[in-house]
Structure 1
């Protein structure tokens, strides 16, 4: 059964079935209700506080390891961060969520039987904090076989008011990566902005979802988020990126020719890894993404 409301012009899928996968294929995204349960949401949010306090190890910023005062409340600690990259490297709950069974079941229908993950991001968007301009994830993570898929798990109810995800449905279909440019819009953080695509903001759909739901979307889908407008509390989300384990991942320059370059700091979440003979590495560390309040040019 699916639900459509006036403010939610897309279905919520109860099961990660073939209809769910078909929605991703056609529209570029689909929403899985109760991808994780309320206890798991609470556990991730609780462990996020420990992560931000440095109890799982130091979190780096552009200026080096972040040091937070012991006198700060949990709420004040969270509000020091906009986004932490690679939380699964330190947080046991973030690592567990990477392999959430209902999410993985959906991914195997969208991607195929063999699925690996290479990245996680914990977004902590407090009141007034910025969003991200239009972009495509494949611009940053080249999967060669175009299998890149994100699972955006809401840790709070995500609404237009607190800065939910917006998507341009169908914008993945051409398989084109649009150019990016530096943007100076105060609504957005320091990341770039995709441009020159055949869509307008009027084509965009807000993806308002309850806590625990997962927005699963294609790596070529144009998407953005706007600021948390204030007085609505935090808008937290855990975002994991996945791809087919059957494809090499030339994400970072490892000195090998492009044809055989393969980033191996990965987590296998389903099936088999045909390139397991290459071994795995442990390269990434949790780091804090800057927003314009901290200065983008430092």
Structure 2
């Protein structure tokens, strides 16, 4: 039986706004344990030269996102299977949850903003978008790269992104939708932000001189998911078993680019 960590008010906020902040889900000690495990994964990447420094982005290139860390570190695998994460995802999705993947973020000093985007653009879950479980491992604010959300944007479905551009555009981004505004989030170590896979969100630049903004995000879909993009089709259930779904070859994002520009 999973411990319930969301109040009714938080659930209502999630349904109405597309996200919710859940304070104090994990203890400071648990947050530090995850940070140590991510550092071990990062150190292996440095030693194996899978992480290489770029002269163009000398610091950011040394601290790239660490993808699917639950598959390469036992402590991170256990953390990703925690009932607080799976139980909350199941409540948000209305059915048993499946883990799509995990990503560790360092957000080093001087790191640029993460442009506004929607997670399901890259996950490709059909017919529903799933949800994210973002764990704040450091204090996060607009000053050091905290999250920013566009309330209510989850109701708009998948939006047509801007064409891919430079590294700073994260491959895809969307503008703030008409009649919507951004809000900034502030979190403490151990706090969790949950948000819908269609919620438009991003993060601020880290404007501090020396501080990192560590976080770990887990993405979930419901067990009724029919298909996902090929890189996401291998999932985990709450028992840690591998679950496979068909490859999504007709995700709605492709249809967005086929539509004629109405402007």
Match of 1:268 among 230, 237, 247: 237
- Secondary structure of the 1:228 match is coil
Give me the whole-angstrom Cα distance separating, in 1, the residues matched to 2:233 and 2:78: 19
Give me the whole-angstrom Cα distance separating, in 2, the residues matched to 1:162 and 1:210: 12
Which ranges of structure 1 fall in alignment gaps of 5 or more residues?
1-13, 59-63, 69-75, 254-262, 281-298
Give me the whole-angstrom Cα distance separating, in 2, the residues matched to 1:104 and 1:168: 25
Give me the whole-angstrom Cα distance separating, in 2, the residues matched to 1:279 and 1:110: 21
Give the TM-score normalised by structure 2. 0.79
C-alpha displacement of 1:121 = 0.8
Query: Does the alignment pair 1:193 with 2:173?
Result: yes
Query: Does the alignment pair 1:102 with 2:84?
Result: yes
Other-structure match for 2:50: 65
C-alpha displacement of 1:43 = 0.7
C-alpha displacement of 1:135 = 0.4
Query: Does the alignment pair 1:209 with 2:187?
Result: yes
**Matches for 1:211-230 after TM superposition, within 5 Å:** 211-230=189-208
1:16/1:103 contact within 8 Å kept: no
Which ranges of structure 2 fall in alignment gaps of 5 or more residues?
247-263
Give me the whole-angstrom Cα distance separating, in 2, the residues matched to 1:57 and 1:279: 34
C-alpha displacement of 1:216 = 0.2
C-alpha displacement of 1:189 = 5.6
C-alpha displacement of 1:157 = 0.5
C-alpha displacement of 1:106 = 1.9
Other-structure match for 1:45: 35
- Secondary structure of the 1:172 match is helix
Other-structure match for 1:231: 209
Deviation track 1:4-62 (CA, whole Å, cap 9, x = no partner) reads: xxxxxxxxxx932443222211100001112222121111111111111108995xxxx
Give me the whole-angstrom Cα distance separating, in 2, the residues matched to 1:166 and 1:174: 17
Match of 1:174 among 137, 140, 156: 156
Q: How many residues align?
A: 239
> Structure 1 runs of 4+ off > 4 angstroms?
55-58, 76-79
- Secondary structure of the 2:21 match is strand
1:18/1:109 contact within 8 Å kept: no
Give me the whole-angstrom Cα distance separating, in 2, the residues matched to 1:172 and 1:164: 20
